Amino acid sequence: MTARPPSIDLLLRSDAGRAAVSRFGRGATVAALRSAAERARTGEIATDAIAAHALAALEQAAWPSLQPVINLTGTVLHTNLGRALLAEPAIAAAIAAMSGAATLEYDVATGGRGERDDHVRGLLRELTGAEDAIAVNNNAAAVLLALATIAAGRETIVSRGELIEIGGAFRMPAIMQSAGTRLVEVGTTNRTHARDYEDAIGADTALLMKVHTSNYRIEGFTAEVAPRDLAAIAHATSLPLLDDLGSGTLIDLTRHGLPRERTVADAIRDGADLVTFSGDKLLGGPQAGFIVGRRDLVARCAKHPLKRALRLDKIRLAALEATLKLYRDPDRLAETLPTLRLLVRPESDIRTMAETLRPALSTWAGPDWRVEVIACRSQIGSGALPVETLPSAGLALSPAGRASGSALDVLSARLRSLTPPVIGTIRDNAVRLDLRCLEDPATLLAALT
């Protein structure tokens, strides 16, 4: 037999009730109290805990859905965890842009109208060697816009070895269909030759396209046409070449001891008429996509009605401008740009941090778990350098005795229930935490206590 719940009026005057009203407002509090009172009536919760339950429910509902996490997956540019972290100047610029009016499409010198792409156009030209540049929502948008502008109603020729699926709904054939261009596949999965492209060019051809095979590599008996040769084939019949670099990088990564990736400037130098790439992959900025290349073609893309639908807002443009400006001092980029800083972090550094954190993690996990420092390999992620990995270190938590198969899932869930949630991976009968992306051990220690 449960006691009759007190009236809502009485509950509103309790300590928890008053706290709830001051934090969440009267309307929401009354609704939460009613629903908690209903649960008390059915015996689900105690009658004297109604207000406390209502407050807890309101607090839980107020918790952000999009919340910070600690990324210990070992994938630096993790698409599901938000890819690149912004540099300090980019964060400051974004805050300034979102806090007040800004010169988004305004020319302060003349007092007349300005163009939003002008905030990044010059920088992109300078950093890529391209004649002109525009920025849109992401690289998928850049590819869509370029295809719709240059090749709608006509044919685009692509190698069968490059018909990528990036994940989700980004499959090259589907993007082509959305852009209204007819896909003409040439060659085979493993081998495509110059004559395959040449034979496919006809009266209806609008474009030749090269796509970076971002998340796989074809090995063995393979052949592809070098970008420079493909540009020559396109130009011989006055056709443009679009090179979708995917991640794209503005600098020679080997200078930082990383695997080689073709730069945007390489693609322009090799003769691509348009190059598309991402803002939040290796470039290390906010989500964005770029079309850089020949002035007349970029201008056509900028005038296409889709451009308006795909354009960037002031917050991201501000962050982008600040990010691109960091590239003017490439020698300091490994300090100033978080993405590069994480990628070049030496294994010894990461191992030292793992050794420091091991006791705290062992205490947290409890006697049923063995916690060891391990060597592991980090991934760059987001379709940049799919096969190459970086030597790293971390902690592996494995069952100390005999444990059921679900023990690892339970431990993972415990890590995810921390504030902020800690995200690792399960492999080789252990929960593995790659510490490459943990720059400050205090954030993990705080989450554990």
Ligand X SMILES: *Cc1c(COP(=O)(O)O)cnc(C)c1O
Residues within the interface to ligand X (CB under 6 A): 138-140, 143, 164, 166, 170, 211-212, 214, 244, 246-247, 278, 289, 383
Contact yes or no for 436/392 (Cβ under 8 A): yes
Picking from 45, 31, 36, the residue whose alpha carbon sits closest to that of residue 2 is: 45
Contact yes or no for 187/162 (Cβ under 8 A): no
**Hey, how many other C-beta atoms are within 10 angstroms of the C-beta on 400?**
13
Please provide the size of the chain in residues.
Answer: 449
CA distances from 113 to 104, 110, 120, 162 (A): 9, 8, 16, 42
Smallest distance from ligand X to CB 96, Å: 25
If the CB atoms of residues 140 and 265 are measured against ligand X, the closer one turns out to be: 140
Sign of CA dihedral 13, 16, 22, 25: negative
If the CB atoms of residues 20 and 166 are measured against ligand X, the closer one turns out to be: 166
Smallest distance from ligand X to CB 196, Å: 20
**Biggest alpha carbon distance in the chain?**
89
If the CB atoms of residues 14 and 156 are measured against ligand X, the closer one turns out to be: 156
Smallest distance from ligand X to CB 135, Å: 11
Q: Which helix (H) or strand (E) holds 365?
A: helix 347-365
Picking from 331, 283, 355, the residue whose alpha carbon sits closest to that of residue 135 is: 283
Contact yes or no for 430/398 (Cβ under 8 A): yes
Smallest distance from ligand X to CB 166, Å: 5
If the CB atoms of residues 248 and 424 are measured against ligand X, the closer one turns out to be: 248
Smallest distance from ligand X to CB 197, Å: 19
Smallest distance from ligand X to CB 2, Å: 54
If the CB atoms of residues 140 and 376 are measured against ligand X, the closer one turns out to be: 140
Chain residue whose CB lies nearest ligand X? 246
If the CB atoms of residues 270 and 435 are measured against ligand X, the closer one turns out to be: 270
Q: Which helix (H) or strand (E) holds 394?
A: strand 389-399
If the CB atoms of residues 311 and 432 are measured against ligand X, the closer one turns out to be: 311
Q: Exposed/middle/buried for 360, CB within 10 Å: 0-12, 13-18, 19+?
A: middle
**Hey, how many other C-beta atoms are within 10 angstroms of the C-beta on 25?**
12
If the CB atoms of residues 5 and 338 are measured against ligand X, the closer one turns out to be: 338
Smallest distance from ligand X to CB 115, Å: 22
Smallest distance from ligand X to CB 275, Å: 11
**All residues at 6 or more sequence positions from 85 whose CB lies less than 8 Å from its CB, including other chains:** 284, 338, 339, 342
